[in-house]
Chain A
């Protein structure tokens, strides 16, 4: 079986920073004060449909080549219609799993050669719950 790998996703790092923020208690006002914009809001960046977005924790290494490391935080949007080759959350026989949806071959594929794909046929109950829109891998554990 031919398994193609999709590109590794850029890991997303969680930060909230003021674009400009200078305060001088006395003396001259900062020349940057007029340029203070809003804070960068990561929620706004990562979550387009708040009511339909849920977080999940990845467990296992079948999706490492899709950029999903063990213990990664997954941002799942239930409002999107899953497309061919999307990374999705699906229930397979009552268990939640994260895989690549191969609509053409009717498969749920892993992104790791050591894991066989799951055939979607009539004998198994399979429902796609939502599309994984972002993944947050924690790189630094001593922060």
Chain B
């Protein structure tokens, strides 16, 4: 019809590519450590709590996923597996490099998570493009990836899964005809399809739908009545009819939550206040990134203390006016946790949420209500600019404490190879 000059506008020449990094965190750890190539590597969550990433070699040693580190410490040490704390500075930088390179080959792109992106690509030469993407990221960043290409996002997810699991695809799988995706759908369960959970899978079994292919061939209208419009879309997508488009601009969030566990149990009120003040600053930064304002904050404290059991206290506080001022959030939060605090308890966690976020452009101008001052807005802009330019925490609230004791435990952290001068990789000359 259009002969392909449409630049994708007619929709007939478009495909979705899902690019997913292979065991992303573990792969980041080996980029600057060629001695670890082919060796088992695991990465731990915040505070070195759980195992959250394992490379293929670690999986082969039967090291389980998502288990507390202390439970498998012995197994790991005996097996010679290399352990790393989460190095988010490194992972964030590597992720940004991967995404920037992907942007150069995509018509449009949705960053789906730290290690995954959906790309809109031309229908022609998908196989070659997939290989090009894979080779480019391996050569230029050192990151191994798998690429799945198909006419819908749901099928692209499926193609990616096949590219990962089936060796002969060599990391690139293109599903460009119904015969190809049906061959795969026949071999997997509905729960392996993006967006179909194990609960739905169980209910589908009662209807005699056992494979993903049977789901694809089911009547979408009938299943919509029994389940939801989401499942109907999934069925249509499994038949090559695109229902889910790329989310090009992240939706502004209605709530921003910032919470973290402490490296050790905190008992002192002033330490809790330091922590909540730091989280308030982080939440404020995120709020300003999306150009939002809030007049409500939520704070909570949590403890698992043998003496009192599970201790959880929370509170919502109203602010005098809509604002994006970190100082207001921090001082309100610091005050708000005082009545939640009980001495003698060992606290594990605390957090802050900014609720009911408005976008600045819809802000009501009202001469009778109090508003955030221009000085305060300007100060926040300057604060963000300084921290962007000179690094996080260059300028911060003094009540967050300097190098506080309770901050995250990262005992096995690798150097921050790409974000600190002192940590750049050494090469022998």
Contact = CB atoms under 8 A, between A and B. Distances in A.
Given A49-B140, A62-B429, A68-B429, A56 B424 contact: yes
Contact of A79 (B37, B140, B425): B140
Contacts of B424: 54-57, 73
B427 A98 contact: yes
Contacts of A79: 139-140
B142 A96 contact: no
A120 interface: no
A95 B35 contact: yes
A51 B140 contact: yes
Given A52-B97, A78-B142, A79-B140, A57 B425 contact: yes
A56 B423 CA distance: 9
A58 B428 CA distance: 6
A50 B32 CA distance: 17
Contacts of A54: 417-418, 424-425
Given A57-B425, A68-B429, A78-B142, A96 B34 contact: yes
A136 B342 CA distance: 57
Interface string B391-429: 000000000000000000000000001100000111111
B427 A56 contact: yes
B425 A60 contact: no
A59 B429 contact: yes
B101 interface: yes
A101 interface: no
A12 to B, nearest CB: 16
Contacts of B37: 94
A89 B425 CA distance: 11
Contacts of B426: 56-59, 96
Most buried by A among B34, B96, B139: B34
Nearest to A68: B429
Tell me the dominant secondary structure on chain B's binding face. Answer: mixed
B310 interface: no
A68 B429 CA distance: 8
Interface residues of A, number: 30
A52 B427 contact: no
How large, as a class, is the contact surface on chain B? 20 to 34
A51 B97 CA distance: 5
A3 to B, nearest CB: 15
A56 B425 CA distance: 5
Contacts of A49: 140
Contacts of B101: 51-52
A96 B140 contact: no
Contact of A94 (B35, B96, B97): B35
B31 to A, nearest CB: 9
Contacts of B141: 51-52, 78
A6 to B, nearest CB: 15
Given A51-B101, A78-B141, A94-B34, A61 B429 contact: yes
B429 A70 contact: yes
Nearest to B39: A94
A73 B429 CA distance: 12
Interface string B93-107: 000110011000000
A74 B100 contact: no
Shortest 10 CB-CB contacts between residues of A and residues of B: A94-B35, A52-B140, A91-B34, A60-B429, A96-B427, A51-B97, A51-B100, A63-B429, A58-B429, A55-B424
Interface of B: 32, 34-35, 37, 96-97, 100-101, 139-142, 417-418, 424-429
27 contacts: A51-B97, A51-B141, A52-B97, A52-B101, A54-B417, A54-B418, A55-B424, A56-B425, A56-B427, A57-B424, A57-B425, A58-B427, A59-B426, A59-B427, A62-B429, A74-B427, A78-B140, A79-B139, A94-B34, A94-B35, A94-B37, A95-B34, A96-B425, A97-B427, A98-B428, A98-B429, A129-B142
Given A50-B100, A52-B141, A56-B427, 14 more contacts: A52-B97, A55-B424, A56-B426, A58-B426, A58-B429, A59-B428, A59-B429, A62-B429, A63-B429, A73-B424, A78-B139, A94-B35, A96-B32, A97-B427
